[in-house]
Amino acid sequence: MSNIRISNNKSNFLKDDKPFFYLADTIWSAFTNVTIQEWAYYLKRRKMQGFNVLQINTLPQWDRCWSDVGVYPFPTKDGQQFDFTTFEEEYFQRARKMCEMAVEQGFQLALVVLWLNYVPGTWGSRMTDKNIMPKDFVPTYVEKVIEEFDEYHPIYMVSGDTDFDTQESIEYYKIALDILCEKSPDSLKTLHIKRGYDLIPDELLNQIDFYMFQSGHNKTQQDMAYRLPEIFAKKYPKKPMINAEPCYEQMGFSREEYGRFEKEDTRKAAWTSILSGACAGVTYGAHGIWNWNKINCPSNPILGEGFDKPFTWQEAIEFQGAWDYGYIKYLLHQYRVDYLEPVNHLLGNDTQEIRVAKAKDKYFIYAKHNTSIKILEDLSNYQALAIDLDKKRISDIEINCTKKESTIEMHPFYKDVLIILEKRSEN
């Protein structure tokens, strides 16, 4: 039986009956691209950085970097187009070995069952239709996934980067979800949906255990990191929420627009999501890890949304943002936070970019730029400190209060900060 479950507050997870902050790394291409030796190093490094969940595609990622491993789940002549009639057992044996290694290191697996390009009627299958899985093969494949991976107690991400704009796509995912609910009743199930999307079909809504949304890699829509959890909270029954694909570090802006996301951008996406209701966890991504880029490997002819060139995986695994995300988990653990209530209505500044949440007798505020911050409450019995999220320095800050509002004065740092307000000790 799976040892991860939804907490009673319906906002967070428990694992082994203890609060569990879902801190995932995106490694979609693991089963096709990563050698066993590389995998051992990857697991050791990500564990050191604080990650506890791995998001993996059970099928070959359509826009992965070209692989020199040479194993695939189905017969194929070119590594791109598959024969959906039988399985290649070597692929699954190897994938099981990788899962076993990950679980031994303490990682929770989150496995995608059907990425969107395998399903008709999605935006991905309209870009390339060479690998649409026959509908009558879907039950066979989903049962194979359960047979091979269920013993590792994964979370099942039934869809990958998908939309539900056609009935045809909904029917495919309904088939998969029904089988998972029947044959793996104790596992947690969710849907990984496309950037900026907030539609969960009624046919699937009651069968998933928590929500995943994606603020994604579009330069001009990074506000989705806090807008989407607000939308989900108003639109759907209460369940834990996760930003399962915020902007990836050093990912080129989508649609081949010039520029890349830096560590400050990834921190902002994480903290603004968490303080806006998606406090169950967050996912990190490094451009070169998710698609596993190696030196001198030829380019994949399918480029998905069209991002700039990735770094090699050896470079990408050392990006600073991975440590920043581990620091998120560390801070929440240190302050014993397992639930954060968004309270942005208390913000007196004329912006939505600053995010405010409350945890019992503490307030958490994220601000990317330095300014005085007004909170529409009397916080005279609180003390404030600012944590420099770039260099991990800490400063006490002055709070000036009236009976109606409090002003948190400017901190001394130049990058983004997390401000923590905590009640003064009565002693």
Does one domain contain both 368 and 236? no
Whole-number Cα distances in Å, 225 to 128, 221, 229, 268, 399 = 28, 9, 7, 8, 28
Dihedral Cα 43, 45, 48, 50, nearest 10 deg: -70
Chain-centroid distance, C-alpha 105: 20
Q: Which domain holds residue 372?
A: 343-423
Report d(CA 157, CA 419) in Å as an integer: 34
Does one domain contain both 322 and 389? no
Q: Are 200 and 208 in contact (CB under 8 A)?
A: yes
**Domain total of the chain:** 2
Does one domain contain both 322 and 299? yes
Does one domain contain both 387 and 293? no
Does one domain contain both 349 and 244? no
- Cβ atoms within 10 Å of 402's Cβ, excluding its own: 9
Structure tokens at 297: 């490997």
CA-based angle 115:119:121, to the nearest 5? 125
> 259: domain CATH number?
3.20.20.80
Does one domain contain both 49 and 156? yes
Total number of residues shown for the chain? 427
The pairing of strands 211-213 and 4-6 is unpaired
* pLDDT computed for residue 296 by the predictor: 78
Does one domain contain both 63 and 139? yes
* pLDDT computed for residue 80 by the predictor: 85
Does one domain contain both 327 and 347? no
Report d(CA 424, CA 11) in Å as an integer: 28
Report d(CA 389, CA 69) in Å as an integer: 38
* pLDDT computed for residue 173 by the predictor: 98
The pairing of strands 4-6 and 13-15 is antiparallel
Does one domain contain both 137 and 223? yes
Does one domain contain both 196 and 217? yes
* pLDDT computed for residue 1 by the predictor: 45
Report d(CA 423, CA 414) in Å as an integer: 26
> Domain ends where: 281, 307, 334?
334
235 Cβ contact list (under 8 Å, min separation 6): 198
> 377: domain CATH number?
2.60.40
> Domain ends where: 301, 317, 334?
334
Does one domain contain both 320 and 391? no
> Domain ends where: 311, 334, 357?
334
Report d(CA 385, CA 185) in Å as an integer: 45
Mean pLDDT, the chain cut into blocks of 10 residues (427 residues total): 85 94 98 97 98 98 88 92 96 98 98 98 92 97 98 98 97 98 98 97 97 96 97 98 98 89 97 98 97 82 70 97 98 94 97 96 96 96 97 97 94 97 83
Whole-number Cα distances in Å, 367 to 47, 174, 408 = 28, 41, 12
Structure tokens at 132: 């649409």
Does one domain contain both 376 and 308? no
